[in-house]
Amino acid sequence: MTPMTQAGEAAPAATEGAVLPPLRIGGHVIGSPVVLAPMAGITNRAFRRLCREYGNEGRAIGGASGATSLYVSEMITSRALVERTPESMRLIEHDPDENPRSIQLYSVDPATARAAARMLVSEDRADHIDLNFGCPVPKVTRKGGGSALPWKKDLFKAIVGAVVEEGAKRDIPVTVKMRKGIDDDHLTFLDAGLTAEAEGVAAVALHGRTAAQAYSGTADWTAIRMLKETVTSIPVLGNGDVWSAEDALRMVRETGCDGVVVGRGCLGRPWLFTDLAAAFAGTSARVTPTLGEVADRLRTHTAYLCDFYGEEERACRDIRKHIAWYLKGFPAGSTIRNSLALVDSMAALDTLLATLDPDAPWPGEAAEGQRGRAGSSRTVALPDRWLESRELSEEHRRTIAEAELSVSGG
């Protein structure tokens, strides 16, 4: 049974022709110009497998060639990877049929970034490397990492250049994911985009929010358009507020971007990759699963997590955070929702899922729109006097030397 059949019938497909050409990242041809955003604790091998299955179904509908989409691992700390911690080694695992194998690295130190990239390249562990310059989490920005780092222009250039140089040894393309800047008074995305382009990256992706916004408010798609108009020799990808295939199409129309990056929009909704592949192929096919079909996908996701962790209890702990996303908009009472959020075994999961009404139809608008964290804007935690200069002082050099030691993700 195909993922499309399991996840509901698609609407009749009216074909109008491809909206965008395939996305080219170095030597990789991505038939549907869509990237799964790296999300900590989410985009592990299990979740990527689920998304790939739906992307393959979308490719079949739209007739796209090449990889369906680009599915990126969750963020992995370069230092932990160089030290080969057990968790970092787990996080860089890929399924045998996963191609291209895409890994996102976090680093604040050019030497460590280079060492991690060299390991991935020389040991044939990746086909694509993405660099994280967009994380707004306080424990990251407080040490000068993530979305705070492009403010220091020389440091940003050195990290990007080091990883690109290592990747070039085996034609492994490198991309950069970033935000607009620290806040509206300290924007970095245009000069960072130009620097990344000059250093030889294969593409840049922009989340149209500042670090101060975190995940609140509305993504600024005009910034994506500005970056596209500024960086002209490589693909520019847009990220932020893509909750549906229609949002993705609108982003392309309004910004001229070469593809979209999808994060929170696919939480509890991996079939979004079917919709996206079909939409970019120019068809109107969309997946509208029943509650029974969603429950089946939730169980499959859990089974994949069991395979990933090799431990049923840990897989069940992991799936708990996905429950509300999968059930969004469906008529499942608070009692069953709360019980599912405490599930500790596959047997318990099966018992609880059996109490849901399998024939409950797709709830439409109630299941659409924002999902995942939102929060509110805030003052960004930064190293002391970080904003006084765009050059890296010796004091700040010592500060960021500690950053990778204090960031999880591998």
State the burial class of residue 125 (Cβ atoms within 10 Å of its Cβ: 0-12, 13-18, 19+).
Answer: middle
- Residue 174: the pLDDT is 98
For 393, which DSSP code?
A: P
**pLDDT at 399 > cutoff 90:** no
Taking only Cα atoms into account, the Rg of the chain, rounded to an integer number of angstroms, comes to 21
Residue 276 token pair: 């996206």
- Residue 36: the pLDDT is 98
pLDDT band at 376 (very low <50, low <70, confident <90, very high): confident
120 membership: H or E segment, kind and range: helix 110-122
Active site residue 257: no
Residue 93 token pair: 């695992």
The more confident residue out of 93 and 372 is 93
3-state DSSP assignment of residue 158: helix
Kindly provide the residue ranges of all beta strands, DSSP E only, lying in 180-295, ordered along the sequence.
181-183, 186-187, 203-207, 236-239, 259-262
Q: Give me the residue spans of the domains in the chain.
A: 17-287+384-406, 291-361
Cβ-based neighbours of 33, under 8 Å, separated by 6 or more: 20, 21, 22, 23, 237, 258, 259, 260, 280
- Residue 58: the pLDDT is 63
73 membership: H or E segment, kind and range: strand 70-77
Q: CB of 283 within 8 A of CB of 14?
A: yes
The more confident residue out of 62 and 157 is 157
Q: CB of 235 within 8 A of CB of 197?
A: no
Instruction: For residue range 19-68, list pLDDT tens digits in order.
Output: 999 999 999 999 999 999 999 999 999 999 999 999 887 656 655 554 58
- Where is average pLDDT lowest: 11-15, 190-194, 215-219? 11-15
- Residue 373: the pLDDT is 77
Instruction: For residue range 59-72, list pLDDT tens digits in order.
Output: 566 555 545 899 99
- Residue 398: the pLDDT is 81
- Residue 372: the pLDDT is 80
- Please give the torsion angle defined by the CA atoms of residues 267, 268, 272 and 274, in that order, rounded to the nearest 10 degrees: 130
Cβ-based neighbours of 237, under 8 Å, separated by 6 or more: 23, 33, 35, 203, 204, 205, 206, 257, 258, 259, 260, 261
Residue 406 token pair: 């204090």
- Please give the torsion angle defined by the CA atoms of residues 203, 369, 2 and 27, in that order, rounded to the nearest 10 degrees: 0
- Residue 68: the pLDDT is 81
Phi first, then psi: give them for residue 293, nearest 5 degrees: -70, -35
Q: CB of 346 within 8 A of CB of 306?
A: yes
Catalytic residue chosen out of the listed positions 51, 135, 306, 316? 135
46 membership: H or E segment, kind and range: helix 45-62
Do the bridges between strand 70-77 and strand 34-36 make them parallel or antiparallel, or are there none, so unpaired?
parallel
Topology given in CATH for the domain delimited by 17-287+384-406: TIM Barrel (3.20.20)
- Residue 12: the pLDDT is 40
Mean pLDDT of all residues in 197-219: 97
pLDDT band at 407 (very low <50, low <70, confident <90, very high): low
DSSP states of 289-327: --HHHHHHHHHHHHHHHHHHHT-HHHHHHHHGGGHHHHH
- Residue 6: the pLDDT is 40
